[in-house]
Amino acid sequence: MELTLNSPLDMHLHLRDGEMLKNIAKFSAQEFAGALVMPNLVPPITNIESLLSYKKRILDAANDNDFKPYMTLFFKSDYTADFLEKAKPHIAAIKLYPNGVTTNSEGGVEQIDTKKLALIFEAMSELDIPLCVHGETNGFVMDREKEFGVIYEQLATSFPKLTIIMEHITTQASTELLERYENLYATITLHHLLITLDDVVGGLLNPHLFCKPIAKRYEDREALLKLALNANKKVMFGSDSAPHTIDKKECCGCAAGVFSAPIALSALAELFEKHNKLTNLQAFVSNNAKNMYKLTPSKKKITLEKKEWIVPSSYDDVVPMFANQTLKWKVKSKI
């Protein structure tokens, strides 16, 4: 049994920089036609010069694979309409991080005041630049995303022409927001479709499944599955694959992030087949993203076959999701 995916896209990807970039970019470049690359480096990508330089490093690390990095800027409250107009040809979106809520988000927005930031959001609306948001407050860890819902509602109603992507949603409350506001969209990760908080801390602590936003309850996972498996047009795949070396994960002060890039398509095929929704995978991993972002990626084809394989224990000192476990689908060819 085989499955061919046309122009698969990962619309939320962390590629890091330096040696880490060189080691892990190839996994996404081999199996995806393109990916929306997050800008939270140290220092973050906040200007066109650093963005173009980073894009070149990504392409170099992609090893001649047919792969397009869709670049993003790290949202700053002092961006001007003139700057945004100059940046538009080089970016697919701008990513907003509340200050300090996740990895390398220092320097993010202290307070998302729709009135004070109105000129930026209005300029983005007119230029048709999507706003991607890490939607969490600094409240209790299980409530952070739900609390942020009020801000999503303010943004959606105050700027109805602004395309807003709720990144890596994890709650039933977030899925309900999608139905209420025409200009709200969302990415969903592989790990949030598969795990709950039980898998992270319910037994022995599993640091390689610790991420932000943290996995939630069973009813939250079911709400996400309903959207993804039925290929709801307002959601798309974004892995949020976030590599950290073993010493940064298996330690006190464990870094947040799940590394799923090498196994994402295989695990998604298995999940969708399990629920008899394999025909909907194409829309979830490509078509919906192309429509939302108005993308024309390459006509790369990835063929998977129903063949068991064992996921390696690590890739260049980074432990992947499903390490040492057997997956039922494997990438056979990339054209």
- Contact between 25 and 55 under an 8 Å Cβ cutoff? The reply is no
CA distance 25 to 7: 17
182 close to 160: Cβ distance less than 8 angstroms: yes
| Angstrom distance (rounded) from CA 293 to CA 238 | 13
Closest alpha carbon to 30 in 318, 237, 300, 283:
300
DSSP letter for each residue of 27-87: HHHHH-SEEEE----SS---SHHHHHHHHHHHHHHTTT-S-EEE-EEE--TT--HHHHHHH
Which tokens belong to 180? 């209420």
Integer Cα distance of 18 and 88 in angstroms: 26
- The backbone region for 289, taken as left when phi is positive above 0, alpha when psi lies in -120 to 50, beta otherwise, is alpha
Q: Kindly list the distances between the CA atom of residue 50 and the CA atoms of 43, 53, 54, 307, in Å, as whole numbers in the listed order.
A: 10, 5, 6, 42
| Phi, psi angles (nearest 5°) of residue 13 | -135, 135
Would you say 128 and 122 are in contact if contact means Cβ atoms under 8 Å apart? Answer: no
Catalytic residues: 240
Tokens of 243: 């590599």
d(CA 126, CA 328): 46
